[in-house]
Amino acid sequence: MPRTNKAVKIFFIITFLILALFFIKGKLAVNTGLLKGEYDSKYIYVENRASKSEVIKKNHKVKTCPASLTKIMTAIVALEHIEDLSAIAPIDVDTYQEMVKSDSSMAGFYGKERTTYRDLLYGTILSSGGEAANSLAINIAGSVESFVKLMNNKASELGLNDTHFINPEGLHDKNQYTTAYDMAKLLDYALDNGHFRAIFTKETFTTTSTLDHPNGIVLQSTVLSKLHEVPQNGFKIIGGKSGTTYEAGQCWATLALKDDVEYIAIVMGAELKDIKNPDDKHIEDTIKIYESLK
């Protein structure tokens, strides 16, 4: 074969291989959600609970602020230290006042109200109540600091190597951080607890009758209550926890069922410009994710 023809043949083979490589890489990027701009959320991790395999990932091991996704850890640590969910666990006055001053999301309890542990748990997950989360901490460990140690011990036990907690409610602190990957591992673990799963997948719950609230308080899931008008084609979101601060952006941790398989989707860091009028890009990302699953 003439040298010129051989060189041309080699050139075309190399060109073909390079184009094939780019095609394969592009296809993998689409399948794993790695293409820039595909999602508004900066950090994403999606897990198939049956196989424990990753399905979609984007900056999944980059540290970020957890906002109220923190309360997933608060709730599971509390559940592992509570003997009787019906026992009285009143609202702590000092931390209640701190949450009011900090403009924390609240479940609606009052200081000294004689709530039960069950009330506090539902208030923590469904309504994302800062007073509920801190009162769990005080009633269980005697102080917020002691409870946070339990949270960090659990993070270490679960191998959440890029997670650290400073408070139980999720208000911003530069030393409180996690990753989408760690949050998925935490949620997967917590869902194996029957009480946690029941709370996480409940849309509404009415708290115990107290002197402050004789008819109880009707708590609503900050996730499931947002989905009434949202089409869910081929899947069903059956539980979730939201988290929102300017530093953390808009975050969602959800559990969905598709083709009888459970999936966890963690989306974090969708930009938040106005906390009173959020654009819900994290919800759009979550729906897009579940629709794309094969």
Span 111-140, pLDDT tens digits: 999 999 999 999 999 999 999 999 999 999
Mean pLDDT of 214-235: 97
Token pair of 243 as six digits: 């988290």
According to the model, what pLDDT value does residue 33 have? Answer: 44
- Least confident range from 15-19, 160-164, 201-205, 267-271: namely 15-19
φ, ψ at 203 (rounded to 5°)? -85, -40
**34 band by pLDDT with thresholds 50, 70 and 90:** very low
pLDDT over 80 (residue 9): no
Prediction pTM value: 0.88
Please count the other Cβ atoms lying within 10 Å of the Cβ belonging to residue 166.
18
According to the model, what pLDDT value does residue 149 have? Answer: 98
- Least confident range from 17-26, 153-162, 249-258, 261-270: namely 17-26
More confident residue, 1 or 285: 285
Mean pLDDT of 255-281: 96
Cβ–Cβ < 8 Å for 190, 125: no
Find the helix packing angle between 93-101 and 130-141, rounded to 10°.
150
CATH numbers and ranges of domains, the chain: 42-292 (3.40.710.10)
pLDDT over 90 (residue 17): no
* 33 vs 76: CA distance, rounded Å: 29
Mean pLDDT of 205-217: 98
Mean pLDDT of 44-69: 97
According to the model, what pLDDT value does residue 6 have? Answer: 53
Token pair of 78 as six digits: 């509390």
* 142 vs 95: CA distance, rounded Å: 12
pLDDT averaged over every residue in the chain: 91
Mean pLDDT of 100-104: 97
Residues with Cβ within 8 Å of residue 38, at least 6 apart in sequence:
30, 58
- State which H helix or E strand residue 19 sits in: helix 3-32
pLDDT in tens, 147-184: 999 999 999 999 999 999 999 999 999 999 999 999 99
**287 band by pLDDT with thresholds 50, 70 and 90:** very high
Please count the other Cβ atoms lying within 10 Å of the Cβ belonging to residue 6.
10
Tokens 């109540």, located at residue:
129
Mean pLDDT of 28-44: 65
Token pair of 288 as six digits: 């897009």
According to the model, what pLDDT value does residue 240 have? Answer: 98
DSSP 171: -
pLDDT over 80 (residue 243): yes
Output the CA torsion 51→57→63→65 (10° steps).
Answer: -90
According to the model, what pLDDT value does residue 23 have? Answer: 39
Please count the other Cβ atoms lying within 10 Å of the Cβ belonging to residue 51.
9
According to the model, what pLDDT value does residue 5 have? Answer: 55
Adjacent-strand bridge partners of 226: none
According to the model, what pLDDT value does residue 294 have? Answer: 83
Strand 249-258 vs strand 261-270: parallel, antiparallel, or unpaired? Answer: antiparallel
- Planar angle of CA 247, 249, 253, nearest 5 degrees: 125
According to the model, what pLDDT value does residue 2 have? Answer: 52
Cβ–Cβ < 8 Å for 94, 108: no
- Render 185-214 in DSSP notation, one character per residue: HHHHHHTTSHHHHHHHT-SEEEPPP-SS-T
Strand, coil or helix: 89: coil
Mean pLDDT of 25-41: 54
* 69 vs 55: CA distance, rounded Å: 21
Mean pLDDT of 275-281: 94
